[in-house]
Amino acid sequence: MRLTRIFAAVALGLVSSFSLAADSDADQAIRKSLHAVQPDLPIEAIAESPMPGIYQVQLQGGRQLYASADGQFLMQGYLFQVKDGRAINLTEREESRGVAKAINAIPAKDMVVFAGKQPKTHITVFTDTDCGYCQKLHSEVAELNRLGIEVRYLAFPRQGLNSPAYKELVSVWCAKDRQAAMSLAKSRQQVPAAECDNPVAKQYALGQMIGVSGTPAIVLANGKIIPGYQPAAQLAKIALESAQKSK
């Protein structure tokens, strides 16, 4: 779910929607305002934020909005807390938790996993088989495994569900040996066509919901998203440091 779309709708609907919420409690007022301008907005929870007078709206997939108690004012952006002489990005922290929750709910059987011998942590990569940087990243999977990083792939056909990449990703997910099929696709070799009940469309929708717009989109174990390719040594360092901080 792109937040720009949400606020484009809000900008058009402010006058007509917010007056309806004035006499409701905070939760009802905020929900009514948001659903008036976008009925399908996937609100997961509304709670008081650490900033007095401001409410935190958590969307499915982890994205955050902020609102006044009467639903008349909405904000999109980062909320920081200054503590012990440093600024803590509370929005990024909460969004990462939401992303991690959504990713961790996906069973391993719905992914294409390259685990290595002794993984210390994992990354989850939204991938498109015809993406050049995705192919480059895949060429370094063995090195990532050697450095202790398990690589989990989710499908994200950048051109949508009617694209050739979508069909190829379906063939990868429906192959008897998904790892071999993924490696074929990433080396620009033809993957035997196959069809089955598969999670490609669902994973594409999840990627959009958490803010993925391009590939590779790399999700660390703590839910932080790294957009774009990173060399294996650098990526492994980031992933391991992140996992250590999360303990």
Catalytic residue numbers read 128, 131, 134, 158
- Find the largest Cα–Cα distance for the chain: 62
CA dist., res. 156 & res. 212, Å (int):
9
Nearest Cα to Cα of residue 123 among 217, 56, 192, 205 = 217
Burial of 133 (0-12, 13-18, 19+ CB in 10 A): middle
CA dist., res. 80 & res. 90, Å (int):
6
Bridge partners for 149 per DSSP: 121
CA atoms within 13 A on the CB side of 57: 27
CA dist., res. 45 & res. 239, Å (int):
29
Q: Could you tell me if 168 and 130 are in contact, meaning their C-beta atoms sit under 8 angstroms apart?
A: yes
Bridge partners for 126 per DSSP: 154, 217
Q: Given its phi and psi angles, is residue 177 left (phi above 0), alpha (psi -120 to 50 degrees) or beta?
A: beta
Which tokens is 20 given?
């309806």
Q: Could you tell me if 155 and 167 are in contact, meaning their C-beta atoms sit under 8 angstroms apart?
A: no
Q: Is 111 helix (H, G, I), strand (E, B) or coil?
A: coil
